[in-house]
Chain A
Amino acid sequence: MLPKIFFAYFAFAILFIAMLVVTRKNPVHSVLWMLLLFFHIAGLYLFLNAEFLAAVQIVVYAGAILVLFLFVVFLLNIKEEIKAKRFINAWPTGFAFALGIFFLFVMTFRSYIAPPAGPYTVEMVQSESNIVVLGKILYTEFLFPFEIASLILLVAIVGAIVLAKRRLKS
């Protein structure tokens, strides 16, 4: 019973905050609501026995990415943003399509057939901690994607600098 109540709280909170994120006039408010959203999502991950990812979520998303967003937001003229129109002219269409996608996903899931369960039961994962299990799999089966991910991050660093560099006045 209790898990269901907690889940209900988290679910409604996530949805409500997400709505808030998307509809605020002031972009700074949006970013801050998003921060709260990520905390709730991390909490939900804890329910799902993904402690490592919960931590990663907070550190990377909330700690790095949102800060990056915030820096860029500061480039804007906040006073003007508050006065300007929020939604584009075609927003009802967007709303309709979003609703459509939601229903579509739900309908799709109705024909879900559960496959046989894998070896990593909750007890087994909890005996060795989540990190150890993840690490074992990551560095053996998924080594190659791991290295590629590091390359992607390198590209991101270089790209970000190149794209955002101010041209030198010659």
Chain B
Amino acid sequence: MEYYLLIPFLPLAAFIINITLGKDILRNKADWVSVLAVCGSAVVAIYTLYDVAVLKNTYDKDLYTWIVSGNFKVSVGFLIDQLTSVMLIVVTVCGSLITIYSVGYMHGDPGYYRFFAYLSLFTFCMLMLVMGNNFLQLYFGWEGVGLCSYFLIGYWYEKKSASDAGKKAFIVNRFGDFGFGLGVIMVFLYFGTLHYSVVFGNVQTIAHQTVNIYGYVISLPTLIALLLFCGAIGKSAQLPLHVWLPDAMEGPTPVSALIHAATMVTAGVFLVARCNPIFNLSETALIVVALTGGITALFAATIGLVQNDIKRIIAYSTVSQLGYMFLACGVGAYAAGIFHLYTHAFFKALLFLCAGSVMHAMGGELNLQKMGGLKKYMPWTYRTMLIGSLSIAGIPGLAAFFSKDEILWLAYAGESPVGKFVFVLGAIGAFLTAFYSFRLIFLTFHGKFRGTHEQEHHLHESPKVMIIPLMLLAVGAIGAGWVGIPPLLGGGAHISHFLEPVLGHPHVHATHAEEWLIMGISVLIAVSGIICASYIYLVRLDIPVRFARNFRPVYNILFNKYYVDELYSFLFIRPTLWVADHILVRITDAKFIEGVVNGVPKSIGDFSQSFRRIQTGIAQHYGIVMAAGAIFIIAFVLLFM
């Protein structure tokens, strides 16, 4: 029996149980089902990792033939290799901790069972995405997580901003998914199948083919890679499709932690890593990926500098860190990207859950400016959040240091033509990351409390069911990186070697001295960022105020997220709504469709009305018709027979 089938199907069972029995029977006990299921998956995932890493087994099995249509054959199949096993750990372990946390966070919410049902469904879809062995199952999981994201963002659906945010997430994702779908179709067209093993095994067949579109000649690998990357842009909230992620913070905090930090948004990175044979054939595509990642990393970090909503800050931080992962993939360092994905899952989920803990204590308040001095009320939250922030800033010894340093090093030293440029972008971004993360810490936990008196009375540490996951994630935020300690520092770079069979290894053209230099620069950037933040936000609180006043335009641009939402509204949304309202509703719907739908019955009715006048009720008229009929038949027979 393939034991790894338990991993996705336990959460699926939890979803089915919760959605059918949850409302009336399970009610407040629905949490147990989800928690047990996802913890069970986590246990099996750990065993899978053991199986792949120690026993060196990989699996590529088709479970059930889903579609057979001419040449097109798609199955539900599972591919368990090194990349999959790492992703499984990320999804299931973070998933379990967050599900347990939600038991406390969502306590008392009226739709309790619904939350856990959707959470389990999401886990199932994400696992199908990660464990699939063909593009269609990937697409199924892709769409499934998008759908669950919509459900969970708009969980408090009575709130208009929440349901709007859910719609925005889904619609913006669709833009990316359109390109992704085209990419999948092209894969099928040129390879004849959607199975990874066949496509990636035969990838050299398309290496030098080109496609002619309206006179423009495009290299085929570039085209396919870019189309697939469109999906990644949408799902992982890169520029220009990043606009949904900050709004997605309308959802409950555990949702933000699980979906928009640890798992769903990383599906894009997973996609690029999984398709690395295709991407490796196209230098253009890799450059696009790296530039998108690098620019997004910097862009989002700048926005995060001036936001006042704690969840939004962490959201922009996520966008920025995802940029780093794509940066890594773009310079050929897929393993580094996945490594960063893995560490990021821990510290970002930790940061979100801590933010949730703070919100829980502040009665739902999100505004930084109304907090302060929470250190003495919520010691454990403070400590774990501090660990998370130190990690994200890149302090040596903690998880993100190793992954981020690896990315920057491989960007600088790798073969990519844009490597040095994106290295600079990444370095500046790292400084800003450290800065805004500690801005958050200082404004929230240090200084004087700036909120109202009732909030002050309400302040308390969160219950154990919420704190324990925080602590476990903090352990992860510290220790997760230790599997990737580079050889420079005496480690074995275990994770890169582990992933090498799937993701390859980038060539490095630099000396050891340069490697020490880059590492030194990273540490310097991290520490200086923290020091700047501490100076400004602990000592000289007047500097931000003066900055906002003197550099008002700059501040406004940053605060309003570079007006991207307004731009999109002007360019796309308002014209679409105008067309929908003036053309589609008034003309197409009211005149054509209604015309047909009303017109056909009306014309039938009119015809019937006029035709019924044949029934005069006078017998002789009927007699005349009968006589006519008889004459006609006899004449017909006479004449023609």
Contacts and interface: CB of A to CB of B under 8 A. Distances in A.
Nearest to A89: B618
A61 to B, nearest CB: 23
A111 B627 CA distance: 22
Interface string A108-142: 10010000000000000000000000000000000
Nearest to B628: A97
A104 B632 CA distance: 10
A100 B631 contact: yes
A94 B635 contact: no
Of A94, A98, A111, the most chain B CB neighbours within 10 A belong to: A94
B634 A93 contact: no
B638 interface: yes
A101 B634 CA distance: 9
Contacts of B624: 90, 93-94, 97
Interface string B490-527: 00000000000000000000000000000000000000
A88 interface: yes
A76 interface: no
A90 B618 CA distance: 11
Nearest to B623: A94
Interface in B615-631: 618, 620-621, 624, 627-628, 630-631
Nearest to A87: B620
Q: Is the interface of A mostly helix, strand, loop or mixed?
A: helix
Given A107-B638, A108-B638, A101 B631 contact: yes
B638 to A, nearest CB: 6
Nearest to B637: A108
Contacts of B627: 97-98, 100-101
Interface residues of B, number: 11
Interface in B459-494: none
Given A97-B628, A101-B627, A88 B620 contact: yes
B360 to A, nearest CB: 87
Contacts of A98: 627
Contacts of B628: 97
A105 B634 CA distance: 9
Interface string B593-633: 00000000000000000000000001011001001101100
B631 A104 contact: yes
Contact of A88 (B618, B631, B634, B635): B618
Contacts of A94: 620, 624
A104 B620 CA distance: 20
Contacts of A100: 627, 631
A90 B631 contact: no
Interface in A77-110: 88, 90, 93-94, 97-98, 100-101, 104, 107-108
B349 to A, nearest CB: 91
Contacts of B635: 104
Contacts of B621: 90
Contacts of B631: 97, 100-101, 104
Contacts of B638: 104, 107-108, 111
Contacts of A90: 620-621, 624
A107 B634 CA distance: 10
A93 B630 CA distance: 15
B618 to A, nearest CB: 7
Contacts of A111: 638
A90 B627 CA distance: 14
Nearest to B639: A107
A104 to B, nearest CB: 5
A108 B634 CA distance: 8
A84 to B, nearest CB: 15
B3 to A, nearest CB: 88
A18 B635 CA distance: 26
A107 B624 CA distance: 21
A89 to B, nearest CB: 9
A105 to B, nearest CB: 8
A111 to B, nearest CB: 8
Contacts of A104: 631, 634-635, 638
A164 B493 CA distance: 114
A95 B638 CA distance: 22
B617 to A, nearest CB: 12
Contacts of A101: 627, 630-631
Nearest to A88: B620
B623 to A, nearest CB: 8
Nearest to B630: A101
A101 B620 CA distance: 16
Contacts of A107: 638
Nearest to B627: A97
B373 to A, nearest CB: 101
Contacts of B634: 104, 108
Nearest to A91: B620
A111 B631 CA distance: 17
B142 to A, nearest CB: 75
B613 to A, nearest CB: 13
26 contacts: A88-B618, A88-B620, A90-B620, A90-B621, A90-B624, A93-B624, A94-B620, A94-B624, A97-B624, A97-B627, A97-B628, A97-B631, A98-B627, A100-B627, A100-B631, A101-B627, A101-B630, A101-B631, A104-B631, A104-B634, A104-B635, A104-B638, A107-B638, A108-B634, A108-B638, A111-B638
Interface of B: 618, 620-621, 624, 627-628, 630-631, 634-635, 638
Q: 9 shortest A-B CB distances, which residue pairs?
A: A97-B627, A100-B631, A104-B634, A93-B624, A104-B631, A88-B620, A97-B624, A94-B624, A107-B638
Given A88-B618, A97-B624, A100-B631, 14 more contacts: A90-B620, A90-B621, A93-B624, A97-B627, A97-B628, A97-B631, A100-B627, A101-B627, A101-B630, A104-B631, A104-B635, A104-B638, A108-B634, A111-B638
